[in-house]
Structure formats: structure tokens, C-alpha cells
A and B are shown apart, each in its own frame.
Chain A
């Protein structure tokens, strides 16, 4: 089903649909009942317009549903009141001025449905009814806006809480030596997932409270190692990252084919990458050089025909300690 755009009521193309923002997502996720005003002030058809004027003024509202017994029979708005004032007719009743052309929305509908109704009808408010057709609330465009803002704020706070918890991870755990180990299995030739492990590791470090420069260095080193597993190995390999408050240890291992000449491999610009891989911009012969530049210690062991083992360490200064809430 084609989705209506929020603002124009026009169709959204496939291309535009890829650009759906978190706000638009929320308008699909948030139900009307989560953003509406419950227990709205109501009037009856017999209420006088002067009482309506008083109600609007005192409660600072601009519209109210009209109930006859339990049944919703109309809606009275500021516009109706203005019309009444122009006629100097405040003694008449709501029945004369209310709008009976009723558009309602269900409490369980997503708020996007209400937005569509607002756009298509030019109504300022919608009575909200439950499955039995009973009035349960009233909804304005402003209610949807503030509901979405609240939800965005909530998303933001959740990430803050997550980050706070992670950054204190090691604080409450007692041991002689605590560490967090992250493992990633990298498949040979899987270019579409290239960089996924290094991005995840960088994100984890940021959550743990790592200094952005440390997270960046780790991210770059792991990215190069990850791409090496994708490009050069026979069966892919494993990346293991051990995070301790004062150091990050990375081990990258694979089972082949191994490096024929390790010192040659370490030379800037030396590469064994194929032409097709070079076309993608890999194989600059800078990968291992970049890794060395980013870490404090690097040990590369390889047995040609057997596999390669790369061990990296990044040491953290006192002010860079991770997971202890510093």
C-alpha cells in the first residue's frame, strides 16, 4: 500500500520512502490514545453558548465534543462560538451552532491516520472513540506534535541511560581482573558487511565511555583487519576484542592462506589484491601500515599455507579509562 505523505497528502515514491525519518516512523508507531487528551470537557446540545464561552475561557480550550447521554452527537469549536458572537446570539444552545458532520478516529489507530484526516478535512480536532463508539478523548494536531516530541526525548534518554550504564560496567564488578570480550565472525568475500564489525566495536567503546580518539583509532585498526579477512583469507576469520579498563587487546585470526613474506607485507604500498578488488578502492597496500599507526603494539605472525594471527594492543591513559565511569 502506498503511504500518504504527512504534509501534502501526495504519494511517496520508492526513492522518497527510503528517506523516512524517525519522526515519520513515530507517527506510525504512536497510537492515537498515547497522544490524545483523555477525559475531555464535554457539553450537551442543551448547553447555552454563553456557558460554552465560559468553559473555553476558563479551561483554555478551543473545542469540545457534544454528548447526548453517552452518544457523541457533534462538536463545538471556537469558530462556531465566533459565529454565534457575530450574531449576538449567546443565549441560544449548542444544538444551533455545533457541527454534526462528524469525523472520528479510533483510539487504537496510529497517529499517522489522524494526521491524514487533519490534512484532508481541515478540521482542527477529532473526537477519539473506542471500539464501542464511546468517546474516550479528543485529539488536535498539537497533541500529535507534543506526543512525537516526548517520544523523541524518550529515545534520547534511553540512549543516555544505556551509555551511562555501560560506562560504569566495571565499577560494580569485583574481580582481580575484569574484562569484556567481543567476538565477530567475518566471512570471506562478504563486502556488503564490510566495516560492520569495526563500526560495532567503535560504538561499544563509545558507550563504555572511551575517549573518541581511542574509539577512532580502534575503529580504523579493526576496519583494516576486517577488510583483510574479507579480501585475503580462504575461509574468513575471527576478530576478538578484549576490553579492560586500561587496555584494549585485539586478536584477528584466520586459517589461511597465510602471508608469504611478512616484512614485505608490512611495506607501505605492497599489495597482493586482485584487480577486481582494487577497482573497489581496496588493495592500496596501506592496511597493515594503518593498523600499526593506530595501535601501541602489534604482533603479526603468519605461516604460509596455515594462517595468520594478528595481535594488537591499545593502552589507555589514566584519563581515558573505560567502563569505570571516569
Chain B
């Protein structure tokens, strides 16, 4: 499943500049609001579901080379965070739904993976 399909199915709103979403295939998913847990647990090219929207999520996504961050519960990153994301090529997607719903929906869509 590519990111284009994820965005359409979950009705996500991109905060960052458009990219070739159809060419991005997330490897796996990870849900947590604790950055160190994400650092430890998220595989490369994962989709990260979180309600954190501050600038440090970009550093995490860059270091881990995540496919995209889905920011839940209607949290909105500030302009400097969006700017940093665009500089680093990190994709930020927003939804008003809670993390539980988004994670469940991703699982239902077939994004299942076992931690290695």
C-alpha cells in the first residue's frame, strides 16, 4: 500500500509540500508520543502516528528515515516546524481523529508488520 492510498483512505491533510506519495511504500507503522520509544521502536520507512506536533519530531523522522508522520487529534505544527520538515523532506500529515482510530485503520488497510 502506498502513501497516496493511505492519505485518501484516512482523509489526511498534508501540512508539508506535496511529494510523490504514490511512490512511497511505508514499511511498517509505529504509534507513540514518547520520542525515545519511537527512536527505539520505529523501523526505517515506518509511518509514525503521534499527537506530538513540535519541532523535535522532524529530527526523529530524519534520523529514522520515516515515510511520514501522521499528527492526530487535530494538533497543528507551527510554521517553523513545517519549514524544517520541508527542508528535510519529511512528510507531515494531519487528522482530527485520535491515534487509536488511525492505527486501527492502518492495520485494517493491511499495514501490518512484526517488530524485528
List A residues at the B interface (Cβ < 8 Å).
Answer: 18-19, 21, 191-192, 194-196, 198-199, 202, 216, 219-220, 223-224, 227, 280-287, 289-290, 293
What is the chain A residue whose CB lies nearest that of B83?
A: A18
Which residues of the other chain, A, contact B5 by a CB distance below 8 angstroms?
none
Other A-B contacts than A19-B17, A216-B64, 16 sampled, CB-CB below 8 A, are A191-B55, A194-B55, A195-B63, A199-B59, A216-B65, A223-B39, A223-B59, A227-B56, A281-B34, A281-B56, A282-B36, A284-B35, A286-B36, A286-B37, A286-B40, A289-B36
Is B36's CB under 8 angstroms from A284's CB?
yes
Q: Which residues from 63 to 89 on chain B have a C-beta closer than 8 Å to any C-beta of chain A?
A: 63-65, 79-80, 82-83, 86, 88
Which residues of the other chain, B, contact A202 by a CB distance below 8 angstroms?
62-63
Is B86's CB under 8 angstroms from A19's CB?
yes
Whole-angstrom distance between the Cβ of B79 and the nearest chain A Cβ: 7
| Alpha-carbon distance between A38 and B35 when the two chains are bound, in angstroms | 56
How extensive is the interface on chain B, given as a class? Answer: 20 to 34
Is A281's CB under 8 angstroms from B35's CB?
yes
| Alpha-carbon distance between A133 and B33 when the two chains are bound, in angstroms | 62
Whole-angstrom distance between the Cβ of A153 and the nearest chain B Cβ: 18
What is the chain A residue whose CB lies nearest that of B79?
A: A18
Could you show 27 A-B contacts with beta carbons less than 8 Å apart? A18-B83, A191-B56, A195-B56, A195-B58, A195-B62, A196-B59, A198-B63, A199-B63, A202-B63, A216-B63, A216-B64, A219-B63, A220-B63, A220-B64, A223-B39, A223-B60, A280-B56, A281-B50, A281-B54, A281-B57, A282-B34, A282-B36, A282-B56, A284-B35, A284-B37, A286-B36, A289-B36
Which residues of the other chain, A, contact B60 by a CB distance below 8 angstroms?
195, 223
Kindly identify which residue among A191, A194, A290 contacts B36, using a CB–CB cutoff of 8 Å: A290
List B residues at the A interface (Cβ < 8 Å).
Answer: 16-18, 33-37, 39-40, 44, 50, 52, 54-60, 62-65, 79-80, 82-83, 86, 88
Whole-angstrom distance between the Cβ of B97 and the nearest chain A Cβ: 19
Which residues of the other chain, A, contact B37 by a CB distance below 8 angstroms?
284, 286
Q: 6 tightest A-B contacts by CB?
A: A195-B59, A286-B36, A19-B17, A284-B34, A284-B36, A219-B63
Kindly identify which residue among B33, B39, B80, B86 contacts A220, using a CB–CB cutoff of 8 Å: B39
| Alpha-carbon distance between A202 and B65 when the two chains are bound, in angstroms | 11
Whole-angstrom distance between the Cβ of A241 and the nearest chain B Cβ: 15
Kindly identify which residue among A21, A198, A280 contacts B59, using a CB–CB cutoff of 8 Å: A198
| Alpha-carbon distance between A53 and B31 when the two chains are bound, in angstroms | 67
Whole-angstrom distance between the Cβ of B90 and the nearest chain A Cβ: 11
What is the chain A residue whose CB lies nearest that of B88?
A: A199
Whole-angstrom distance between the Cβ of A240 and the nearest chain B Cβ: 19
Which residues of the other chain, B, contact A191 by a CB distance below 8 angstroms?
54-56
Kindly identify which residue among A18, A196, A289 contacts B86, using a CB–CB cutoff of 8 Å: A18
Which residues of the other chain, A, contact B58 by a CB distance below 8 angstroms?
195
| Alpha-carbon distance between A285 and B52 when the two chains are bound, in angstroms | 18
| Alpha-carbon distance between A220 and B44 when the two chains are bound, in angstroms | 12
Whole-angstrom distance between the Cβ of B41 and the nearest chain A Cβ: 9
| Alpha-carbon distance between A223 and B37 when the two chains are bound, in angstroms | 13
Is B59's CB under 8 angstroms from A19's CB?
no
What is the chain A residue whose CB lies nearest that of B35?
A: A281
Which residues of the other chain, A, contact B36 by a CB distance below 8 angstroms?
224, 282, 284-287, 289-290
What is the chain A residue whose CB lies nearest that of B33?
A: A281
| Alpha-carbon distance between A192 and B35 when the two chains are bound, in angstroms | 15
Kindly identify which residue among B52, B65, B79 contacts A280, using a CB–CB cutoff of 8 Å: B52
| Alpha-carbon distance between A199 and B62 when the two chains are bound, in angstroms | 7
| Alpha-carbon distance between A41 and B58 when the two chains are bound, in angstroms | 53
Whole-angstrom distance between the Cβ of A198 and the nearest chain B Cβ: 6
What is the chain B residue whose CB lies nearest that of A288?
A: B36
Is B83's CB under 8 angstroms from A224's CB?
no
